[in-house]
Amino acid sequence: MIGTIRLGSGLFLTLFVTLHFINHALGVISPNTQESGAQYFTHPWGQPPLVWFLMTALVAHVATSLIGLYRRRHLRMPTWQKYQFFTGLLMPFFLAPHLIPALIYIGGYAIAINYHSVLAFLWGGSPERNVVQILLLFLVWMHSVIGVWSWLRLKSGFGRWRLTLGSLAILLPSLAFSGYVAAGMRVRLLAENPEWRRQLAQQIGFVDVADEVAKQAIMTAWLSLLALVAALFVARWLRTTLSHGGKGRLNLHYDGKRRLKFAPGTTALETIHLAGIPHPSLCGGRGRCTTCRVRVVEGEGEIPERNPTESAALSRIAAPAGVRLACQIQPVADLALYPLLEPTVCSEAVTDNHGKGHGEERDVVVLFADLRGFTQLSQDRFPYDVVFILNRYFQVTGEAIEKNGGYLDKFIGDGIMALFGLEGEVGQATRASLKAARAMGEALEKLNNSLASELSSPLRIGVGIHTGRAIIGEMGYGTAKQLTAIGDVVNTASRLEGLTKENGVQLIVSQRTLKLSGLSLPESPVRALAIRGRDRPLTAHLVNALTDLP
- Other CB atoms within 10 Å distance of the CB of residue 476: 10
| Cα-based distances in Å from 452 to 379, 400, 447 | 18, 21, 8
Nearest to 80 by CA among 360, 269, 358, 350: 350
Neighbours of 310 (CB within 10 A): 20
Separation of alpha carbons 497 and 460, rounded Å: 13
Q: Tell me the CATH class for 356-548.
A: alpha beta
Residue type, 395: Q
Contact indicator for 290, 317 with CB cutoff of 8 Å: yes
- Backbone φ and ψ for 371, nearest 5 degrees, come out as -75, 140
Q: Could you say which of 3.30.530, 1.20.1300, 1.25.40, 1.10.132 is the CATH number of the domain covering 2-241?
A: 1.20.1300
**How much is the pTM?**
0.55
DSSP designation for 9: H
The whole-number pLDDT of residue 246 equals 52
| C-alpha to C-alpha distance for 265 and 329, rounded to whole angstroms | 9
Q: What is the pLDDT of residue 109?
A: 65
What is the greatest pairwise CA distance in the chain? 100
pLDDT for the residue 237: 83
Contact 390/449 with Cβ under 8 angstroms? no
Dist. CA 550–CA 543, nearest whole Å: 11
CATH (residue range 250-350): 3.10.20.30
| Distances from the Cα of 431 to the Cα of 107, 397, 436, angstroms | 59, 17, 9
pLDDT of res. 206: 64
Q: Which of 225, 223, 218, 215 is nearest to 89 (CA)?
A: 225
What SS3 state is found at 298? strand
| β 407-412/335-339 pair status | unpaired
DSSP-assigned letter for residue 348: H
Whether 124 and 188 have beta carbons less than 8 Å apart is answered as yes
Q: Is 360 exposed, middle or buried (0-12, 13-18, 19+ CB in 10 A)?
A: buried
Tens of pLDDT along the chain (550 residues) come to 777 888 899 899 899 999 999 999 999 998 889 889 988 998 888 777 887 888 888 888 888 888 888 877 767 777 777 888 888 888 888 777 777 777 777 666 666 677 777 777 777 666 677 787 888 888 889 999 988 888 887 666 676 677 888 899 999 999 999 998 898 888 888 878 888 777 777 777 666 677 788 888 888 988 998 998 899 889 888 877 776 555 557 888 998 888 888 777 788 898 888 888 888 887 777 787 888 899 998 887 778 888 888 888 888 778 888 899 999 988 888 889 998 876 654 444 433 434 445 567 788 999 999 988 777 666 667 777 788 888 899 999 999 999 999 999 988 888 999 999 988 788 999 999 999 999 999 999 999 898 887 777 888 999 999 999 888 888 877 777 788 888 889 999 999 999 999 999 999 999 999 999 998 888 889 999 988 877 789 999 999 999 988 8
Listed in sequence order, the DSSP H helices in 26-157 are 31-41, 50-71, 79-103, 109, 115-124, 127-152
Domain edges within the chain: 2-241, 250-350, 356-548
125 burial level (CB within 10 Å; 0-12, 13-18, 19+): exposed
Contacts of residue 195, defined as CB under 8 A and 6 or more positions apart, other chains included, come to none
Alpha carbon 345 to chain centroid distance?
19
Q: What is the spatial distance between Cα 540 and Cα 493, in angstroms, rounded to a whole number?
A: 11
H-only helix segments in 319-382: 343-350, 374-378
Give the pLDDT of residue 207: 67
Sheet holding 250-254, edge to edge: 258-262, 250-254, 335-339, 293-298, 323-325
